[in-house]
Amino acid sequence: MEKILVSACLLGDNCKYNGKNNYTKEIEEIKQYYEIIPICPETMGGLSIPRLKSERKGNRAINEKGQDVTKYFVKGADQVLNIVKFLHIKKALLKENSPSCGVKHIYDGTFSNKLVDFQGFTSELLIKAGVECFTEENIKDLIPNKK
């Protein structure tokens, strides 16, 4: 069975900044076709649960108190890339809008709920490495015969 990286919060893990999750029920169908490899780059990079909300601004990650937390985001992204290389993973299902996992859009770094066309730190690295990245918004494209 093909392996796929999945943002752990989409699977129901309470790893979001606020200690909650982003469970998406369509994930259950994905499990029939793929071996799920859960990842949470922010906690893998050393951030706690709960943690302050952060947004990406250019090449920096800033939390809502204005502290620079870029090193945690970069470390988490590197850890995920190591898993991809080690397990030869070609696909990922990631949480849209996240400063780590967002694939098409993320919040703009002003903490005012504005989205911009940009990727999170981890998604950017995965796309550059040739991993095909999906989100909860196009999850059906991962299911055979439902394209």
HEC assignment per residue over the chain: CEEEEEEHHHHCCCCCCCCCCCCCCCHHHHCCCEEEEEECHHHHCCCCCCCCCEEEECCEEEECCCCECHHHHHHHHHHHHHHHHHHCCCEEEECCECCCCCCCEEECCCCCCCEEECCCHHHHHHHHCCCEEEECCCHHHHCCCCC
Task: Mark the segment that binds ligand SF4 (CB under 6 A) among 38-46, 54-62, 126-134, 139-147.
Answer: 38-46
Q: Is 54 in the site for ligand SF4 (CB under 6 A)?
A: no
Residue 101 sits in the site that holds ligand SF4 (CB under 6 A): yes
- Position 80, amino acid: V
Question: CB of 84: closest distance to ligand SF4 in angstroms?
Answer: 15
Binding mask 9-28 for ligand SF4 (x = CB under 6 A): x-----xx------------
Smallest CA-to-CA distance from 101 within 1, 24, 32, 31 is with 24
Q: Among 51, 56, 57, 95, which residue interacts with ligand SF4 (rule: CB under 6 A)?
A: 95
Nearer to ligand SF4, 16 or 56 (CB): 16
| Residue 131 touches ligand SF4, criterion: CB under 6 A | no
> Judged by CB under 6 A, does residue 41 bind ligand SF4?
yes
63 binds ligand SF4 (CB under 6 A): no
Applying CB under 6 A, the residues found at the interface with ligand SF4 are 7-9, 15-16, 40-42, 95, 98, 100-101
